[in-house]
Amino acid sequence: MGAVHACVALPHVQVHVVPTDTPMYLGLGGPFTMAEMSDGAQLAHVDGQVRAQIIDDAAEIATLGRRWTRIVGEALPRALSLDLIRKAALTWT
């Protein structure tokens, strides 16, 4: 849990856990990571079963931003997400 806690404690990292009992939502379409670079450029990494891709197209970044907003709307607040992660880590062997 130490490494996870150190990472999620960083001010620029957001972790939100969507509860397992949440019905169909946009996050089920697959994982993605969004980043804003120091020069203001925005990038995304979209992972898939066949290939992963880096996206820098503004329209696609905007679409992922809207999806992120909707996913966070389904997720637990940050503090509850971190608490759930801590509790889960206690069960890991």
Running DSSP on this structure, what letter comes out for residue 86?
A: H
Could you list the pLDDT tens digit for every one of the 93 residues in the chain? 567 667 777 887 878 898 888 888 877 788 899 999 999 999 999 988 888 999 999 999 999 999 999 988 989 998 898 888 888 888 986
pLDDT at 61: 96
Quick one: tokens of 25? 């939502």
pLDDT of residue 78: 86
For residue 33, give the 3-state DSSP assignment: strand
